[in-house]
Chains A and B, each alone.
Chain A
Amino acid sequence: MRRISRLSRLAVLGSATVLLLTGCLGSSGDGSGDQDSNRNADAKKVELTIGSNSVKGGKSSAGATFTEDVLIPKFVEAQKAKGVDVTVKFQGDGSDDEVYKQKLALSLSNKAGPDLFSLDGIWVGEFAQAGYIKPLTDTVGDAAKVNDWNGWKQIPESVQQLGSFDGKRYGVPGGTDGRVLFFNKKLFQQAGLPADWQPKSWDEITSAAQALKKLPGVTPVQINAGTAMGEATSMQGVLPLLVGTGATINSDGKWLGNTPQLRQVLDFYKTIYGSGLGDPVLQREAKGRDKSFAEFAANKIGILLESDYFWRSVVEPKEGVAKMADRDTAVGYALIPASKPGAGVKGQDFVSMSGGGATAINPNTKFPQQAWELLQFMNSAEMVKASLNGAAKITQRTDVNTEVLAGDPMLNFVATKVLPITQFRPGLAEYPKISAALQQATADVVGGKSTDAAAKSYQAAVEAAAGKDKVSSS
């Protein structure tokens, strides 16, 4: 057949091209370290770009509005006073985090991209390993200059993890959050449960759920599961539960495998979704999380494990996506208990998980010194406070938090009670795959598979993702 032979000729041509291409991959990373970090330090005309996954009138509109309308003009003004003519551009995107990450990584791997950019805390490790970001001290060149920034003192050690990898600071963390159990006080009252509910073990959650189950049309408890919600399942589900068993997803360089703790978590899922305490369908829908918000607001869900974002932006009475006019009186919140008192990670009684982002400097920026100045300016108390625009939100800075959260008991609760006990996800390249495996395991269990079978497939998936020797088990 003539066609086949033609194709094989094409294949030969192709493999020749491959040899040419071999040089095209992996050429990033090298060489960028030995640039002079004081390049253009004295430039009078400076151009900087800030990249972020937020856009006016769309995703994270407020962040984009602040950057464009407040931060940039203020910084330009401040620099003008010093005789430097700075132009700062905002490069906003508005997409799924994974797509934004891909776009950012593509730019960075070509030694391009914005001079400052925001990234999720869990990407820091992967980006650092890929050489897309460098420790701030390297990029800025002067260790003292970085370490002496007075802002660090205001950022709690635990929060600083967000911008760190291997004990080095790669960026300045932005705001953070914390996870708690939200509950509907109205339903609790109907079920005869206390308004100041604070479970001390998982059993107390189930017993409260049993009580709620008697109410018609009410889903007693909703803890995210399944693959449809992606990372939401990990953050608002498996991981907070897992730390409640005393395990962390990565310890001593090894990923958590099929351990008793994991099986304990899966069993808990089984208890909830197997006995009608949770709505298993909700967990499988692509828009399931939005649905759970709406149902909570409509008094159809009793207990929901969520981050403080839920309080600020979802059931918020004025602007929320699922407004609850009586939020302040109707929505209660409690710390997430360990499976049993004292069984949590580090022997804690209560646990939580936190996430958040950081802002890093592009190692290939033309103006590393000015970028560092902008980064400091961005994270100054004045700017952090301004970025809130009157809203209450947990920021990276303690000084700002004490000031702005005073009026919001819930966020204050998170800042003071949750942040000290919280955990962060490891910023390692394999994490997304491990997280996906965890999501898959919960999907399996909720879908009817036995705990053991789900845990076994989880073990296999983790081994495939990280390598056999990097997984702890039993």
Chain B
Amino acid sequence: MTTAPAPVPGRPARVRGPAQDVAGLGVARAVGFLAPALLLIGAFLVFPAIWTIYIGITNYRLTGVEAVSPSIVGLANYTKALNDALFHNALWLTVLFVLGSAIVGQNILGFALAWTMRRARPAVRRTVEGLVLLAWILPSTVVAYLWIAFFDRDTGTLNSILGTQGTAWLIDYPMVCLIVFNTWRGTAFSMMLYSSALQAVPPSQLESARMVGASGWQTLRDVVFPHIRGHVLTNTLLISLWTANDFSPFLLTKGGPNHESETVPVYIYNVALQGGELGYSSAISFLLLIANLLVALLYLRLLRRRS
């Protein structure tokens, strides 16, 4: 990432990358600045994470015989996961969840909001943005109640609006519900990110696109997108990771009915708490980490191709 651009022969490149210590901080003080954060992260994140990875190769449980004398089972938990239909199911649902609610839902709705709100009247803009943000900052327990009430089979708002009394949305279409829910919940971040990104698009370029008669879509593709590509990638990475690790589906459906909405974090929770299999759940957590890593690498690859 930090590899400086290769000097062009004959034409010295002006190197003024972001990493320039302009205030004269110095490496020693910089390390001092980093120390508290690294210390906390090391203690409360890295250390437990490594420990978790270790638990993943044991058959540790919190109760029962294995609690006293867990034994190292090597990669057995991982081979188990590879053959575990429920894990495959969870993985697939997580992919659906991320694709539907993050990559498509939040991204597109967030961008659409940022795009349309640019020119909206301030009052409209404030109202809409306020609502979207409210959905984002409300505590998740509260939000879960809101949506359970919204989807409720008998007295739910959705059924009242659609006149479909008796439709048990969370039972009949659990993943659709979760995707809609998470789009609602998380769009604010994309909206804010894209709002600030769109300010970087020179108005002159938009105008020249209009002059040559480009359609809205062509303008977006040819003028806007090249400017915000980095933002799109960053945003997609962050919201994908957050969505993939999101636990709030549990609050809505507990993974049900019959595992139909059991995404990986919910599955991990169920395996760890209902089943008590901490070794196995740690192994799955680690697999989730690997999946996250792959997504991040893909993102970096795309980001590098940009330049």
Taking Cβ atoms with an 8 Å cutoff, the residues of A that contact B are 3, 14, 17-18, 21-22, 24-26, 28-30, 96, 98-99, 101-102, 105-106, 109, 123, 125-127, 129-132, 226-228, 230, 281, 284-287, 291, 428-430, 432-433, 436, 440, 443-444, 447
Contacts and interface: CB of A to CB of B under 8 A. Distances in A.
B173 to A, nearest CB: 12
5 contacts: A25-B60, A129-B68, A130-B65, A281-B172, A286-B170
Contacts of B1: 3
Contacts of A291: 153-154
Nearest to B63: A126
B197 interface: no
A276 to B, nearest CB: 15
A82 B60 CA distance: 45
Interface in B53-76: 53-55, 58, 60-70, 72
Contacts of B276: 126, 429, 432
Contacts of A126: 63-64, 67, 276
Contacts of A226: 256-258
B171 A28 contact: no
B206 to A, nearest CB: 37
B64 A129 contact: yes
A284 B258 contact: yes
- A-B pairs with the 4 shortest C-beta distances? A429-B64, A284-B257, A130-B67, A126-B63
Nearest to B58: A25
Contact of B50 (A14, A284, A436): A14
Interface string B244-277: 0000000011111111000000000000111111
Contacts of A127: 63
B273 A98 contact: yes
Nearest to B1: A3
Contact of B258 (A26, A101, A227): A227
A283 B205 CA distance: 58
B201 interface: no
Contacts of B300: 3
Nearest to B171: A284
B43 to A, nearest CB: 13
Contacts of B62: 102, 105-106, 109, 130
B259 A227 contact: yes
A21 B274 CA distance: 26
A125 B58 CA distance: 21
From B69, B253, B255, B257, residue with most partner A Cβ within 10 Å: B257
Contacts of A130: 61-65, 67-68
A26 B67 CA distance: 6
Contact of B274 (A24, A132, A432): A432
Which bucket holds chain B's interface residue count? 35 or more
A436 B262 CA distance: 15
Contacts of A281: 153, 168, 171-172
B92 interface: no
A229 to B, nearest CB: 9
Nearest to A131: B68
A284 B256 contact: yes
A101 B63 CA distance: 9
A47 to B, nearest CB: 27
Contacts of B61: 130, 429
Given A130-B64, A444-B258, 18 more contacts: A14-B53, A18-B50, A25-B55, A25-B60, A29-B68, A30-B68, A102-B62, A102-B272, A102-B273, A227-B258, A228-B256, A281-B168, A284-B256, A286-B254, A429-B61, A430-B64, A436-B275, A447-B258
B242 interface: no
Contacts of A98: 273-274
Contacts of B258: 226-228, 284, 440, 443-444, 447
B51 interface: yes
Contact of A26 (B60, B255, B275): B60
B303 interface: no
Contact of A21 (B54, B64, B252): B54
From B61, B70, B172, B276, residue with most partner A Cβ within 10 Å: B276
A30 B255 CA distance: 38
A3 B298 CA distance: 13
B78 to A, nearest CB: 15
A285 B62 CA distance: 29
B53 A129 contact: no
Contacts of B170: 285-286
Contacts of B180: none
B148 interface: yes
Contacts of B55: 25
Contact of B51 (A24, A28, A429, A444): A24
A29 B171 contact: no
A26 B70 contact: yes
A98 B274 CA distance: 6
Given A21-B51, A109-B67, A132-B63, A433 B273 contact: no
A131 B65 CA distance: 8
Contacts of B64: 125-126, 129-130, 428-430
Contacts of B272: 102
Interface string B198-241: 00000000000000000000000000000000000000000000
A291 B177 CA distance: 20
B159 to A, nearest CB: 13
B275 A432 contact: yes
B292 to A, nearest CB: 13
B67 A129 contact: yes
A452 B260 CA distance: 22
B167 to A, nearest CB: 10
Contacts of B254: 228, 286
A257 B253 CA distance: 29
A285 B153 CA distance: 10
Contacts of B275: 432-433, 436
A109 B60 CA distance: 12
From B67, B72, B256, B276, residue with most partner A Cβ within 10 Å: B67
A144 B274 CA distance: 38
B69 A26 contact: yes
B50 A17 contact: yes
Interface in B136-165: 148, 153-154
